[in-house]
Amino acid sequence: MDIVVTPDDPKQDTDSKPDTDSKPDTDSKPDTDSKPDTDSKPDTDSKPDTDSQPDADSKPDTNPDPGPTGETVYGDVNLDSAIDIMDVIAINKYLLGASTLTTQAQANADVDLNKQIDSTDSLYILKRVVEIVTELPIK
C-alpha cells in the first residue's frame, strides 16, 4: 500500500482551534443523569411481607358479615332485594375470584340448590333476569 504523505495539508489547523471548546458544553449536561433513579425503586413491589396480614379478608370462616338475615332471596347475589343484571355481574365476579360473597349472598346465589356456586347458578340467574325462567331456585 502506498503511504502518501501530504505535508501541505492545511486542514490540521482546524483541529487545534481552541475557540470552539467553549461551546460544545451543551452536550455534556450532567443534569439529565439525576432522573433515571425512578427505575431503581422496585423494592416496594417485591415485598412478600404483605401476605401475612390480609388473611382476614380471605378467610370465610372468620367472616364477620351479618350472615343470613332470615330470608333467602334466590338470585339476589348483591343483596339489594332485587334480581337484576347486577346480580349476574356479582356472581360472575365471585366466580372469577374478583370478589367475595357474604354467607347470605352465597345462599342467594346457589339457585339450583346443589350447595355450590358455579357457572350454572350464574346462568340461571341470568335466565331469571331475562325472564326465561320465572322462579328461583331451580328445582
Q: Which is nearer to Ca ion, 50 or 136 (CB)?
A: 136
Q: Find the binder of Ca ion among 65, 93, 95, 112 (CB under 5 A).
A: 112
One-letter-per-residue 3-state SS of the chain: CCCCCCCCCCCHHHHCCCHHHHCHHHHHCCHHHHCHHHHHCHHHCCCHHHHHCCHHHHCCCCCCCCCCCCCCCCCCCCCCCCCCHHHHHHHHHHHCCCCCCCHHHHHHHCCCCCCCCCHHHHHHHHHHHCCCCCCCCCC
Q: Which is nearer to Ca ion, 33 or 72 (CB)?
A: 72
User: CA angle 81-137-100, nearest 5°?
Assistant: 60
Q: Which of residues 13-42 bind Ca ion (CB under 5 A)?
A: none
Task: Decide: 106 and 115 in contact? Cβ < 8 Å.
Answer: no
Binding mask 57-86 for Ca ion (x = CB under 5 A): -------------------x-x-x-x----
Whole-number minimum distance, CB 47 to Ca ion, in Å?
38
Q: Does position 125 bind Ca ion by CB under 5 A?
A: no
Q: Which is nearer to Ca ion, 17 or 139 (CB)?
A: 139
Q: Which is nearer to Ca ion, 57 or 119 (CB)?
A: 119
Q: Find the binder of Ca ion among 57, 67, 69, 114 (CB under 5 A).
A: 114
Binding site for Ca ion (CB under 5 A): 76, 78, 80, 82, 87, 110, 112, 114, 116, 121
